[in-house]
Amino acid sequence: MRVPALPLLCLPILASQAPNPPHLAIPRLAQAPSMARDADLSTWKEALVLTEFGMIMPDDKGENRWPTIVHVGWGPDALYVAVEAKDPEPAKIHAARHMRDTNNGDFDFVGVDLDPSGKGQSIARFFVTPLGGQIDEIMTDSTGENASYDCLWDSTGVLTPDGYVVKMRIPYSSLRRRPGDWAFRILRIIPRERRYGISWPRMSKDVQCDICQMARVSGAPVDKPGSPFLLIPFATHARTQSLETDPAARPESKTRLGMDLRYATTALTFEGTYRPDFATADADVDPLQINSRFRVFYPERRPFFLEGMDLLSPPSAQRQFFSRSIQSPLYGLKVSGQDSLASWTVLHAKDEDGGLMLSANGARGVDGLPTRDTAAALRLQLDGRGSGLSFLGTDKRLQGGPDAAGGLIGGQSGGIYLDQYLGSEFHVIGSAMSATSRLPQADGGLLSQRGTSTSAELDWNTRHWFASAVNQTTSPGLVLVSGFTDLRGYRQQTGSFGWQGTWNGGRFSQANASLRGRRLTWWNGNPFDRAVGLSAYVETANRWAWSVDWDIAGRTWADDEVTSNATRNINMALSWKKLSWAQLLARVIEGRTIDLATGAPARIHTTSFSSHGAVGDVCYDLTAQRTELSRESDDLRLVRARKLTTTATYQMPRFFYLKAQAFVVRYDGSEIDGVDKFLKAFLGWQPNAFTNAYVGWSGQRRRDPLAILPTERMVERGLFAKLAWAMQF
């Protein structure tokens, strides 16, 4: 796809429109101010006061109606921030107790954005709701927010007659930092008839990068690291019955002792884990991707694989390193560092179930064998706006089994990535990687493969207009045994052009519309898929929103054979997010597609409904979906899938909580038949991100369609408990 020449000719002019963020010195406090859960700020008198906030959501124009006073200072051991959030309508403030990292009630909150490296590559976000609840994230301009990040910090909050007051203490030892200026910003979100947002410093939608507009602050006492060690010993116990193969199996008890360790200096962070337990992560739910030739991507939730992972996950067509390719680590080690020119990360782990991942990529006879997994990344800073040049390498090697002595079983990969901002409107992302794999086969031979993947993307974004052009190629031989390959042996070109608008007043809040095109071919040049599409989104002042996505394609594949079929798809959604206790979304999808099992034209119909919110101190998520695939010629039902899933938490005083997750997934039709049911419930106590104690029960039932009388039966159930205690010194 050709890139328009006119935008490229404008690059020298656009390069002069770089942002000019403010610089200021934050004072050092003689002693730490009070973090008591009250509105008294008498001990914060030495702190710097900030009051000049500007609008950022929905639009950066207009008057800020929410007076906000920030007190900030460098303490002896931490950055201290207090925020007086005043509100002309205090009765409308959304506030309740909630678990960490949940905002299902669309709460009011204030936050601190920090880049302790000053490089503009990523930021740590620390949000506090009116009663002191914590939400922390890692964010980059390229990949967006990752709310699974956790950090050890303190917060309090209290409602006042005219708003609320929150206080934050962010220890230096919880941050990877270096001498020099840090990037700093204060945000406040106010959900009302619109979702309003204000910030200090003021930001502009005319500048198409986010981190580069943050203020630069000096004076951070990085010579005083505080408590660099974080030690988290833990014990887990489970008494379970695995009944899938033997309905009369006896319960088995298993106790595991493990430990997490973190050591942080001004520029180096070392992390280690031994026999980690990830039982607190929610179970993966079948996404009902019926009739899809693409692999299902499940996001990472495990704590050890989140901190510092932005360097190991650069934007690209294929994910060269995917942390979930490490299934069950016996231990893991990770070291991250930075200096004025570069940042780097090295991860090493022994995976006791590594052979399962090799089997998923085509190896035979390696189930039950461990692997040693290594990934390393280096990112060179190219400018002060977050641009960088990255290098990434991975290695997965089987331990034991055939040819293990020579290190022949497994795979390696290497990649180079460019993430470059050009002026205030253009963004270039490029990548090139290659990988080799050597996997044993059933006949005793060794299958060696080598493949490549490249990607180039040019994005153009202004206040009201945007466009992108993308070219991706992935060769048939690419096998990323440490990564995630969506599709092999194809070439893809895509392009889009659209308009967007936001308003702080009037009947509408935001709207956008875009046209797009897609062309895919097989590696040998044979046509794969061509499509054009239209997308539109409108949100009103009362937080009603309507969206439509329409595609029409001329697909030329079915069951990997060349077959000409015209397909179409329309996806419409209606949502209402004004209520904090029930934010609703309904979606309908209608389309003509191809049944991959037979290549016959088919109709697909999906309806779904979801609701999330907070009722008092209970937060919940509820999703229901129904999808049907029917053969077009005779209306034969090929697949009907139904899913109901819910997660609920009840946050009690003194950090106690109740949490439950349940789902039911049913399949029936001429091509499939099955039921999967899951329930997990536990009582816990979590005073901070890393101290956690809980006890609970889980069970899973499935339907066996091969039985003489198909019935549902329990396939796994049991009790579980864990105690993890964080110690900092």
pLDDT in tens, 367-402: 889 999 999 999 998 887 778 899 999 999 998 876
pLDDT at 145: 80
pLDDT at 253: 94
**3-class SS of residue 9:** helix
- Position 3 pLDDT exceeds 70: no
- DSSP 8-state code for residue 86: E
| pLDDT confidence tier of residue 404, bands split at 50, 70 and 90 | low
pLDDT digits over 524-561, tens only? 888 888 899 999 999 999 999 999 999 988 766 544 55
Residue numbers of the domain that contains 163? 18-218
Q: Is residue 210 part of a domain?
A: yes
pLDDT at 429: 94
Region 171-175: mean pLDDT is 84
- What residue has token string 């153009």? 460
pLDDT digits over 218-247, tens only? 988 877 656 788 899 999 999 999 988 888
pLDDT at 9: 35
More confident residue, 210 or 618: 618
For residue 174, which phi and psi values (nearest 5 degrees)?
-90, 0
Region 73-86: mean pLDDT is 95
Compute the mean pLDDT over every residue in the chain, rounded to the nearest whole number. 88
pLDDT at 705: 67
CA atoms within 13 A on the CB side of 252: 7
CA–CA separation, 567 and 603 (whole Å): 9
More confident residue, 120 or 649: 649
Q: Are residues 710 and 704 in contact, defined by beta-carbon separation less than 8 angstroms?
A: yes
CATH code of the domain containing 150: 2.60.40.1190
Q: Is residue 29 part of a domain?
A: yes
State the CB neighbour count (10 A cutoff) for residue 247: 10
CA angle 13, 19, 22 (to 5 degrees): 150
CA–CA separation, 303 and 692 (whole Å): 13
pLDDT at 384: 75
pLDDT at 2: 39
| pLDDT confidence tier of residue 12, bands split at 50, 70 and 90 | very low
CA–CA separation, 444 and 435 (whole Å): 23
CA–CA separation, 287 and 325 (whole Å): 19
Q: Is residue 140 part of a domain?
A: yes
pLDDT at 317: 82
Q: Are residues 257 and 235 in contact, defined by beta-carbon separation less than 8 angstroms?
A: yes
**3-class SS of residue 655:** helix
Q: Is residue 170 part of a domain?
A: yes
State the CB neighbour count (10 A cutoff) for residue 695: 13
| pLDDT confidence tier of residue 121, bands split at 50, 70 and 90 | confident
Q: Is residue 275 part of a domain?
A: no
Question: Domain tally for the chain?
Answer: 1
- Position 357 pLDDT exceeds 60: yes
| Burial readout 408-433 (b: 16 or more C-beta within 10 A, e: otherwise) | ebbbbbebebbbbbbbbbbbebbbbb
pLDDT at 710: 67
CA–CA separation, 368 and 355 (whole Å): 6
Of 223-237, 286-300, 397-411, 458-472, give the lowest mean pLDDT range: 286-300
For residue 715, which phi and psi values (nearest 5 degrees)?
-110, -20
* Dihedral angle computed from the Cα positions of residues 548, 553, 558 and 560, in that order, rounded to the nearest 10 degrees: -100
In 3D space, the residue among 664, 610, 606, 601 whose CA is nearest the CA of residue 640 turns out to be: 606
- Position 13 pLDDT exceeds 60: no
pLDDT at 556: 61
- What residue has token string 């690059």? 11
pLDDT at 597: 77
Q: Is residue 31 part of a domain?
A: yes
Region 299-314: mean pLDDT is 74
Region 299-328: mean pLDDT is 80
Of 144-148, 290-294, 561-565, 653-657, give the lowest mean pLDDT range: 561-565
Q: Is residue 697 part of a domain?
A: no
CA–CA separation, 594 and 631 (whole Å): 9
CA–CA separation, 153 and 160 (whole Å): 23
Region 258-284: mean pLDDT is 80
Q: Is residue 367 part of a domain?
A: no
| Amino acid code (one letter) for 289 | Q
CA–CA separation, 197 and 211 (whole Å): 16
pLDDT at 112: 97
pLDDT digits over 87-110, tens only? 999 999 999 999 998 888 899 999
- What residue has token string 């003021």? 202
Of 284-288, 322-326, 375-379, give the lowest mean pLDDT range: 284-288
CA–CA separation, 188 and 171 (whole Å): 22
Q: Please, what sign has the CA dihedral across residues 651, 653, 657, 658? A: negative
CA–CA separation, 644 and 668 (whole Å): 15
Region 66-90: mean pLDDT is 96
pLDDT at 452: 96
The token pair that represents 112 in the structure block: 């601190």
Region 204-209: mean pLDDT is 85
